[in-house]
């Protein structure tokens, strides 16, 4: 058995609304969308391959990046392009497709990845729209197909608040997972490393997969983050690259080679304190959340999030599931204020710093809202970041180096190793209410600009 890597720093935020392990087949969504903002590093004005009214099939290209035109972003369903929604400066926010429920699909190359060369595999992944599932460190952007990564990392568990159980999601998909791994093995001269949860027996989908190296982790969030696992196994140095893939997306890669079509079906966990029956729903990438929310959300002013509460994106109650998300969360909107709330015992409030007496109830789960619990204030040293970031990095110093745009200092402080999700808890515990993840992304953009 591999050595257990123990993560001591971090924080488990215990929220109400953990999903039951029941799979519901949702009614087919009427609308689906692919959202360019889901892809950091992509041009804000990607080149459209369609226009409003265009007929598309599953796997038909919708848009591509002007910098890398071979990497296509394709439709998850067949139907008609209903809208191209734009924001400030005509930035494309969503390409919306109305499904015709016919599931007509573009066909791609089918075959055993073991018998295919790297070029054929890369071309198949790019033409089908599956390549964007493969991302790289540094900068947490879509990988460059011309690169040879030092290794490919996959996290086999998720420790984010109310995160879906990947063992449950991947159960029964062992064959497609292995096929996806076989394809990924052709893309690197290094190893494929999978981080698994040492708290439970390793699931068959990981234990029986050939061609991978398993690493066991134990500890609080963010132990399940692939960036934390990379940092503890083999940190990224300047000039190096590693690639990462979400575990459920490996199945999409596998089914592409098994069936010759882009199959964006996935299990999504509907979670949160405002959900009446938190469960798993079988749907498709980019689907509207409206069918799964129907008659299943408590009345009130709620926040709908594609993803988890730390790193997810705010959407409307008819919004769309993000490209990389396997979770939808519903919590109360923070539109109310408490007089002297900080002075009360706070038995119903969660605190990372033992401010309230609720720390005496370690197993209690909480209903948390979106209030900041205080105003924004100067960016000061508190020592809180270091308590929740289990990486050999000085987080406060790195963020300040980004703010002053000191490239050399950013490099020396580890910007090549991290992603926004790794710093999400820093943002949560920040007494200054600083938007840490946004600062980190601005640092990535600066580095990309400077390095070309």
Per residue in 264-277, pLDDT (tens digit) is 999 999 999 999 99
Average pLDDT value over all residues in the chain: 93
Going by C-beta distance under 8 Å and a sequence separation of 6 or more, which residues neighbour residue 329? 17, 161, 162, 271, 272, 304, 305, 307, 308, 309, 312
pLDDT in tens, 111-154: 999 999 999 999 999 999 999 999 999 999 999 999 999 999 99
Identify the band that residue 379 occupies on the pLDDT scale cut at 50, 70 and 90: confident
pLDDT of 199 strictly over 70: yes
Task: Please report the pLDDT score of residue 113 as a whole number.
Answer: 98
pLDDT band for position 174 (50/70/90)?
Answer: very high
Q: CB atoms < 10 A from the CB of 50, how many?
A: 18
> What are the residue boundaries of the structural domains of the chain, listed by start?
4-18+114-259, 27-99, 268-360, 384-451
**Looking at residue 378, what is its pLDDT?**
81
| CATH topology classification for 4-18+114-259 | Rossmann fold (3.40.50)
State the pLDDT confidence band at 372, using cuts at 50, 70 and 90. confident
Q: Name the pLDDT band for 385 (thresholds 50, 70, 90).
A: very high
Over residues 24-35, the mean pLDDT reads 93
- For residue 136, the model assigns a pLDDT of 97
Report the CATH architecture of 27-99: Beta Barrel (2.40)
Please state, in angstroms and rounded to a whole number, the distance separating the CA atoms of residues 311 and 438: 11
The answer to whether 389 touches 220, Cβ cutoff 8 Å, is no
- pTM, two decimal places: 0.95
The whole-number pLDDT of residue 81 equals 98
Alpha carbon distance 250, 246 (integer Å): 7
Per-residue pLDDT, averaged over 297-314, amounts to 96
Two domains, one topology: 27-99 and 268-360 = no
pLDDT at 205 over 90: yes
| Torsion angles phi and psi, residue 311, rounded to 5 | -125, -5
CB count within 10 Å of CB 107 equals 12
* pLDDT surpasses 90 at 375: no
Whether 241 shows a pLDDT value over 90: the answer reads: yes
**What CATH topology corresponds to 268-360?**
Ubiquitin-like (UB roll) (3.10.20)
* Upper half-sphere CA count for residue 217 (Cβ side, 13 Å): 29
326-to-208, 265, 298, 337 alpha-carbon distances in Å? 24, 11, 22, 32
The fraction of the chain above a pLDDT of 90, given in percent, is 84
Tens digits of per-residue pLDDT, 330-362? 999 987 666 666 556 666 777 777 776 566 667
* 283 pLDDT higher than 90: yes
């Amino acid at each position: 058995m591999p050595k257990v890597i123990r993560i001591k720093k971090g924080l488990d935020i215990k929220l109400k609304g953990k999903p039951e392990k029941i799979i519901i087949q949702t009614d087919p969504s009427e609308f689906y969308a692919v959202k360019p903002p889901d892809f950091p590093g992509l041009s804000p004005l990607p080149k459209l391959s369609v226009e409003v009214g265009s007929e598309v099939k599953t796997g038909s290209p919708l848009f591509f990046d002007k910098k890398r035109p071979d990497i296509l972003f394709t439709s998850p369903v067949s139907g008609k392009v209903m809208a191209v929604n734009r924001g400030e400066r005509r930035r494309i926010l969503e390409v919306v497709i109305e499904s015709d429920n016919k599931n007509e699909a573009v066909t791609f190359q089918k075959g055993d990845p073991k018998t295919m060369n790297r070029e054929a595999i890369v071309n198949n992944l790019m033409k089908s729209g599956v390549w964007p599932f493969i991302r790289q460190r540094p900068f947490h952007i879509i990988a460059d197909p011309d690169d040879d990564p030092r290794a490919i990392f996959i996290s086999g568990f998720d420790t984010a608040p109310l995160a879906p159980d990947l063992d449950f999601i991947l159960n029964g998909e062992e064959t497609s997972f292995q096929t996806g791994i076989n394809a990924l093995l052709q893309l690197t001269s290094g190893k494929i490393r999978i981080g698994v949860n040492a708290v439970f027996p390793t699931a068959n989908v990981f234990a029986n997969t050939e061609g991978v190296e398993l690493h066991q982790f134990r500890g609080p969030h963010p132990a399940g983050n692939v960036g934390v696992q990379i940092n503890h196994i083999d940190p990224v140095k300047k000039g190096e690259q590693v690639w990462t893939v979400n575990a459920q997306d490996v199945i999409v890669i596998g089914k592409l080679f098994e069936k010759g079509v882009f199959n964006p079906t996935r299990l999504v966990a509907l979670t949160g304190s405002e959900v009446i029956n938190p469960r798993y729903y079988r749907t498709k990438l980019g689907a509207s959340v409206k069918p799964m929310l129907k008659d299943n959300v408590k009345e009130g002013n709620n926040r709908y999030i594609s993803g988890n509460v730390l790193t997810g994106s705010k959407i409307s109650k008819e919004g769309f599931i993000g490209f990389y998300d396997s979770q939808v969360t519903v919590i109360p909107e923070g539109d109310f204020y408490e007089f002297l709330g900080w002075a009360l015992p706070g038995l119903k409030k969660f605190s990372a710093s033992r401010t309230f007496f609720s720390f005496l109830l370690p197993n209690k789960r909480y209903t948390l809202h979106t209030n900041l619990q205080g105003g924004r204030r100067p960016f000061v040293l508190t020592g809180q970041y270091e308590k929740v970031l289990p990486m050999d990095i000085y987080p406060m110093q790195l963020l300040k180096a980004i703010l002053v745009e000191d490239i050399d200092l950013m490099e020396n402080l580890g910007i090549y190793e991290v992603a926004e999700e790794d710093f999400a808890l820093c943002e949560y515990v920040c007494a200054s209410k600083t938007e840490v993840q946004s600062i980190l992304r601005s640092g990535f953009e600066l580095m990309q600009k400077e390095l070309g």
